[in-house]
């Protein structure tokens, strides 16, 4: 941002939002193929999934292409129903046990496979699953996550509400919800929340005032101390009643919340969605790699924020370009980083999958509350959030 004083707004949507239900089912299918292939002794490097999901009133349609261990339609249907149940949908208009689930997955195109598989097509090395541009961003606005503040706190509000809903502490809440946080910046730094919007599905019989009484303590709990003042504007369920929600209230599709998934509009987005795609698709894996590199640059203390673009051609292993943008007067450092980053981490699809250990069933948790700013786990989730490249970056530059 060129200006020093401004307001910036980002939004989030809950795991029960129709689009996020679709994302969750698609990512569960990716995980299913990895689990089954690994259990059968097949190399996880051979797994290919591109699953798209449509959700609407008591209907789920799953389409796309796959390769790997044979997985039956019944198996796919089972993980879809389990995901819907875990989210919490047991409503007349969308119920995990009663919804009609249609599975239309088919084998991966041999032409696409020839461009991706090592030793096939026009190139000897494993190529990118598609052409595209991917961006990774990091900022020291939120030190513990190195994320932009507006999208980070939008996620945190909904995450907390989901926790108390699942625990039964707030039984009046239902799965579908949206949040929006407007942050005031002074001298380029976030200093407070100028407006907070929350719309959450709820049990019938609750008024807007009832819903406000439920959610306000949790909003205050997750926001930084001093950020909510008498001047902060709140809109809680501004349309009033919100009983019919989820796929029964609006259709959902995989990949429609790409800005929610990334940086809330604070950084560019290449356009490709993540959910439902195995990591040969650079839409996903290269976006993770660029975030990993940007986060490690900022974690090194060299700059306040970093933005990285990678680009690829289908069937070609090496990126066609790498671009680094940094805050302030750091053009020489940016040019130096463009030279050294590919030496610190292979940016080929195989190199990314190996470095970040992406050939695992780790994707379902990414489907809600953002792919970035999350905590890496011992099980391999969110490996791209590690800051284990800091010392190598410092030494290299």
Catalytic residues: 17, 19-20, 52, 65, 178, 242, 250-251, 256-257, 277, 281, 283
Whole-angstrom distance, CA of residue 198 vs CA of residue 338: 41
**Residue where the block lists tokens 């509000």:** 157
How far is Cα 221 from Cα 224, in angstroms, rounded to an integer?
Answer: 8
Instruction: Please check whether residue 342 is in contact with residue 116, taking contact to mean a CB–CB distance below 8 angstroms.
Output: no
Q: Would you call 135 helix, strand, or coil by DSSP?
A: strand
| Contact indicator for 53, 116 with CB cutoff of 8 Å | no
- The answer to whether 296 touches 369, Cβ cutoff 8 Å, is no
Rounded Cα gap, residues 237 and 211, in angstroms: 8
Whether residue 247 contacts residue 55, with contact meaning beta carbons closer than 8 Å, is answered with yes
Quick one: tokens of 218? 């949790």
**Residue 9 β-bridge partners:** 182
DSSP 199-251: EEEE-TT--HHHHHHHHHHHHHHHSPTT-S-TT-EEEESTTS---S-HHHHS-
Report the C-alpha gap between 288 and 177 in whole angstroms: 26
Furthest CA-CA distance within the chain: 64
- Contacts of 199 by beta carbon, 8 Å cutoff, 6+ apart: 177, 178, 179, 236, 237, 238, 239, 242
Q: Encoding tokens for residue 106?
A: 């088919």
Integer Cα distance of 274 and 278 in angstroms: 9
CB 278 within 8 A of CB 26: no
């Amino acid at each position: 941002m060129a200006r020093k004083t401004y307001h910036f707004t980002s939004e989030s949507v809950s795991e029960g939002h129709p689009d996020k239900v679709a994302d969750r089912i698609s990512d569960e299918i990716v995980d299913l193929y990895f689990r089954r292939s690994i259990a059968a002794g097949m190399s996880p490097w051979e797994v290919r999934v591109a699953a798209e999901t449509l959700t609407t009133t008591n209907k789920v349609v799953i389409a796309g292409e796959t390769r790997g261990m044979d997985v039956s339609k019944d198996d796919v249907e089972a993980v879809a129903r389990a995901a819907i149940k875990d989210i919490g949908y047991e409503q007349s208009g969308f119920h995990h046990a009663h919804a009609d689930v249609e599975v239309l997955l088919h084998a991966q195109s041999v032409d696409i496979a020839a461009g991706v598989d090592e030793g096939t097509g026009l190139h000897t090395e494993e190529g990118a699953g598609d052409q595209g541009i991917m961006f990774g961003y990091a900022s020291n606005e939120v030190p513990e996550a190195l994320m932009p503040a507006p999208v980070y706190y939008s996620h945190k509000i909904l995450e907390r509400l989901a926790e108390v809903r699942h625990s039964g502490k707030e039984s009046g809440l239902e799965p579908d919800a949206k949040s929006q946080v407007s942050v005031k910046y002074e001298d380029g730094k976030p200093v407070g929340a100028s407006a907070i919007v929350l719309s959450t599905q709820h049990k019938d019989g609750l008024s807007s005032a009832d819903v406000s009484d439920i959610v306000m303590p949790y909003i205050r709990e997750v926001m930084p101390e001093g950020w909510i003042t008498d001047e902060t504007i709140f809109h809680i369920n501004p349309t009033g009643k919100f009983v019919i929600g989820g796929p029964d209230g609006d259709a959902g599709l995989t990949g429609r919340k790409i800005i929610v998934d990334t940086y809330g509009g604070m950084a560019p987005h290449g356009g490709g969605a993540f959910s439902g795609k195995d990591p040969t698709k650079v839409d996903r894996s290269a976006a993770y790699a660029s975030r990993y590199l940007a986060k490690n640059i900022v974690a090194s203390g060299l700059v306040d924020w970093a933005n990285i673009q990678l680009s690829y051609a289908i069937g070609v292993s090496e990126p066609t370009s790498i671009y680094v943008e940094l805050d302030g007067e750091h053009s020489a450092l940016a040019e130096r980083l463009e030279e050294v980053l590919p030496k610190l981490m292979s940016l080929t699809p195989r190199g990314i999958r190996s470095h970040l250990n992406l050939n695992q069933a780790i994707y379902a948790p990414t489907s809600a509350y953002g792919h970035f700013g999350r905590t890496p786990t011992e099980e391999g989730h969110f490996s791209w959030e590690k800051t284990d490249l800091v010392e190598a970056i410092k030494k290299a530059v």
